[in-house]
Structure 1
Amino acid sequence: MEWVVVVAAVLVMIILSLLRVNVIIAIIAAALTAGVLSGLSFVVTIELFVSGMGDQANTALSYVLLGAFAVAISYTGITSILVRFLIRVLTGKKTMLLLAIAGVASLSQNLVPVHIAFIPILIPPLLKLFDQMRLDRRAVAVSLTFGLKAPYIMIPAGFGYIFHQTIFDAMETSGLTVTMDEIWKTMIIPGLGMVVGLLIAIFITYRKERDAVLGAGGMESSITEEEAKEITFNKKHGFTLLAIIAAFVVQIITGNLILGALTGLLVMFVFIVVPFKNLDQVMTDGIKMMGTIAFVMLSAAGFAKVLKDTGAVTALVEVSSGVLGDNKVIIAFVLLVVGLLVTLGIGSSFGTVPILAALYVPICLSAGFSPMATIALIGTAGALGDAGSPASDSTLGPTAGLNADGKHNHIWDTVVPTFIHFNIPLFLFGWIAAIVL
């Protein structure tokens, strides 16, 4: 009955999160639940949890450095130019504003590799505009999560290259060799499901006006009223764009976000876009902005370690495969359900793909699934964890920006809306891809 451990642990995390318990505490509680149900003591479980946190150390450091890079970019005022442009052109145009936000967020995955680091800089200045327009912030959360997720699912560049390479390596290690072309061609199908979900959220679900509720996020406003400064494009902004391009190129060439962020910071300091004396302040602000999210990711990695080392995930998949028979439609459905449970708890598509591939590839080969169908199942199951998980950076990031004034709740205003609008269509489109390919 080891498979019950995964279900119970994930339920503990989800229930506590819905009750507005801090997500880090919810993850630790879920890990302790998994450990105790597996026969481990609290001490051993915590030791296992802490040892697993190192698996996401690279990601956590990447987020902190990207946060510093984003702070350095904002120091030049170039983001103020963008915000002012959006306000001038899109005030009163809700649909266009939401689509523009989704577009800007999409650039953060492939062209300007700052991932979620841009959100706490770009979104808070727009909150007053959202309130004036009575724009439903849940629609903004969905738009942001779309941009943080859909591009890397479908496009093999930037974070997308890393995600596709992770699928490629994991499948090869598990005994099935595919090509990178097969991966992006396959992942377009579940990615289109996210496009459908975005359009439904913007044009149907959250089209009505809605007032944000002060205190919904359980915190006081961190926004200070400042006199708007008129900023025009200058040479510092040109060097800032150069730093962004340099960071992108280095990240693409090396496949390393840390080197990309360091390159961007180096260019900005070499060309004195940001004075060297401000380096400590930039790093401190970057840690303040991204530190909490980085620690949640570390905690999620510890939770994943507990689930993996207790054998709970393996048991869940084995039990599932043992009762599936040879019907591909049912097999694909059950594997995606299992993937959804696992990735909801871990909250990272990148972190769960190797685990899922090791379990899915043997099942898919024995059931006669094609390589592209197997890609669809692994890629979709991994992606399900990023949209709609309380521990995912794709939900934590939007909340970090939208809750700057204390009017946006992480679970009810970000996690639930993104789960409904992205996990459901992702599941359906991934299921269809596994059947038809």
Structure 2
Amino acid sequence: MFTVITSVVVMILLSLFRVNVVLAILAAGITAGLMTGLSWSDSLELLIEGMGGQAETALSYILLGVFAMMIGYSGITGVLVSSLMRMLKGKRGTLIMVIAAAACLSQNVIPVHIAFVPILIPPLLKLFDEMKIDRRAVASALTFGLKAPYVMLPVGFGFIFHNTIAQEIQASGMDVPVNEIWKAMLIPGLGMVAGLLVAVFITYRKPKEWKDRPKTATDPSEKTGDDTVSFTFKHGLTIVAVLSALIIQIAMDSLIFGALSGIILMFIFQVVPFRHGDEMVNDGVKLMGMIAFVMLIASGFANVLKETGAVNNMVEKAISVSGGANIMTAAVMLLAGLVVTMGIGTSFGTIPILAALFVPFSMSVGFSPLATVALIGTAGAMGDAGSPASDSTLGPTSGLNADGRHHHIWDTCVPTFLHYNIPLFLFGLIAAVVL
């Protein structure tokens, strides 16, 4: 039972002590292997074998980084920044809520997930500093937009999430129509809304005064001349490239083809001269390479937990000692989901594991179908916000740290963990009791 807990605690503690997240996840994966009886070499081999599970995602992130640098080079982001400065000058809360709304659109209306972050956020960093915005509030807004819509609404990525819950629950012997899932997930989702409002208007509402700190990464807004405020023909071509990339991504259901098509069009339109190709690729890798590699290592860690049976053993033992259908039982189930998702780093990947174990237990102790849905969905969503290995936290960091002034753990993971996992847990308990 303690294998998953111990390995996840190792990852979290090392991350909190500012050990690089790649090394922290690697240490956690090896720890999990050793605790289940594997040798050092077998543990590492199992971790490496699992890294291929996120190879497509990692390549997507690299290409998105290159595309983002090209868009920054075009100068169109300067037009956006100038417009925002005119409309929202001095309105910190409004700007952050607009960013949260844009992030929500990326899950349901225009399903690009984190693809917009490295394009939209880096050019806005100067604006954030001028308006004295606390970037932790922006990170909270982005993570909200990357999670809450698919948790609550059966549209876009939410359609996939809700269908996954319904299919896995039905496969485990409980009949729940997919069009009923949103009713159970609405209450936990409202908890995330409460967390967002607390983060933006209470916790991080005060002006952020930056101390002089050396920059450790390329600042796209400085390099690409975002002082340009007039709209030009090249900006129009850039919009065409962006829209084409979006259409191709949706049509082919591939982030790789979408980003690659955008890159090719930027060269064809001569928005970016071909001679700057190496520079764009190098800067794109700097922007997103670390995020991509973290996803690979996280996939390996998840493989160790799954293949050794550590996850199943932990959840089985946790629910076996929790008693009947009551609030304490629900709390134990949610906490088990939190630990699992913190380690695996994805709510989508956690749902099949939790459903196979939670459904038979819920049926035996008397939880209703909708209460079971709420427990599984909330347990899967908990930990995704706040996990060092989750794209819901890695995505915001990729944009906010473009100038080297945003720490992944303390400025993204800790704020999102506190403001979303706590209300998810509380509202998930409410859902389990009232449904």
Compute the TM-score of the two structures, normalised by the length of structure 1.
0.89
Correspondence for 1:122: 120
How far residue 260 of structure 1 moved from its aligned partner, in angstroms, is 5.0
Aligned to 2:231: 232
The equivalences for 1:199-210 within 5 A come to 199-210=197-208
Among 7, 30, 34, the alignment partner of 1:9 is: 7
Aligned-residue CA RMSD in angstroms? 2.7
Match of 1:192? 190
Q: % of aligned pairs identical?
A: 59
Q: In the superposition, relative to structure 1, how do residues 10 and 160 fare at CA in structure 2: closer, same or farther (>3 Å)?
A: same
How many angstroms does 1:264 deviate by? 5.7
Aligned to 2:52: 54
Structure 2 Cα separation of the partners of residues 101 and 162 of structure 1: 24
Alignment check: 8 A CA contact 1:111 1:158 kept: yes
Q: Which amino acid aligns with 1:64?
A: I
CA-CA distance at 1:53 after TM superposition = 1.5
Structure 2 CA distance for aligned equivalents of residues 221 and 56 of structure 1: 25
Alignment of 1:406-421 (within 5 A): 406-421=404-419
Task: Quickly say closer, same or farther: Cα 1:81–1:177, change in 2 above 3 A.
Answer: farther
Structure 1 residue 21 corresponds to structure 2 residue 19: yes
Structure 1 residues 258 and 366, CA gap change in structure 2 (3 angstroms): farther
- Equivalent position of 2:357 in the other structure: 359
In the TM superposition, 1:321-340 aligns within 5 A as: 321-340=319-338
Cross-structure match for 2:218: 222
Equivalent residue for 1:243?
Answer: 244
Shift of 1:95: 1.0
Q: In structure 2, what is the equivalent of residue 369 of structure 1?
A: 367
Hey, what's the Cα distance between the residues in 2 that align with 1:300 and 1:413? 20
C-alpha change, 1:374 and 1:198, in structure 2 (3 Å) is same
Report which stretch shifted further, 279-288 or 50-59: 279-288
Corresponding residue SS for 2:107: helix
User: Are the aligned partners of 1:91 and 1:129 in contact in 2 as well (CA < 8 Å)?
Assistant: no
Matches for 1:172-321 after TM superposition, within 5 Å:
172-215=170-213, 220-223=216-219, 225-226=222-223, 227=225, 228-232=227-231, 234=233, 235-237=236-238, 239-240=240-241, 242-243=243-244, 246-247=247-248, 249-250=250-251, 254=253, 256-258=254-256, 260-261=258-259, 285-321=283-319
Return the alpha-carbon distance in structure 2 between the equivalents of residues 221 and 68 of structure 1: 15
Q: Which amino acid aligns with 1:236?
A: L
1:250–1:263 CA contact under 8 A, matched in 2 = no
Q: 1:120 to 1:263 in 2, by over 3 A?
A: closer
Aligned residue type for 2:354: L
Residue 164 (structure 2) aligned to one of 156, 163, 166 = 166
One-letter identity of the residue aligned with 2:422: I
Aligned partner of 1:397 in structure 2 is: 395
| 1:221–1:291 Cα change, 3 Å | closer
Partner deviation per Cα, 1:238-271 (whole Å, 9 max, x = no partner):
52464255146426xx5x5445555666777787
Tell me the number of residue pairs that the alignment of Structure 1 and Structure 2 aligns: 430
1:410 positional shift? 1.8
Instruction: Tell me the equivalent position of 2:30.
Output: 32
State the Cα distance separating 1:317 from its structure 2 match: 1.3
- Please list every run of 5 or more consecutive structure 1 residues that lacks an aligned counterpart in the other structure: none
Alignment partner of 2:95 out of 89, 94, 97: 97
Query: Residue 111 of structure 1 aligns to a residue in which SS?
Result: coil
Give the residue type in structure 2 aligned to 1:362.
P
- Change in Cα spacing, 1:353 to 1:277, as seen in structure 2 (3 Å) is farther
**Structure 2, unpaired ranges of 5+:** none
Tell me: CA distance 1:127–1:314, structure 2 relative to 1, closer, same or farther (3 Å).
Answer: same
Q: Distance in 2 between matches of 1:280 and 1:177?
A: 54
Other structure's SS at 1:109 match: coil
The one-letter amino acid of 1:243's match is S
1:18-49 CA distance string (max 9 Å, x none):
00001010001011111111111010001111
Within 1, Cα distance between the matches of 2:352 and 2:22? Answer: 24
- Give yes or no for contact 2:82–2:229 (8 Å, CA) kept in 1: no
Distance 1:84 1:323 in 2: 58
Q: Distance in 1 between matches of 2:76 and 2:364?
A: 55
Residues 242 and 262, structure 2, Cα contact 8 Å, conserved in 1: no
Q: CA shift at 1:195, angstroms?
A: 0.8
Per the normalisation by structure 2, the TM-score is 0.89
Work out the CA distance in 2 between the residues paired with 1:372 and 1:213. Answer: 50
| Letter aligned with residue 105 of structure 2 | L
Q: Aligned letter for 1:223?
A: D
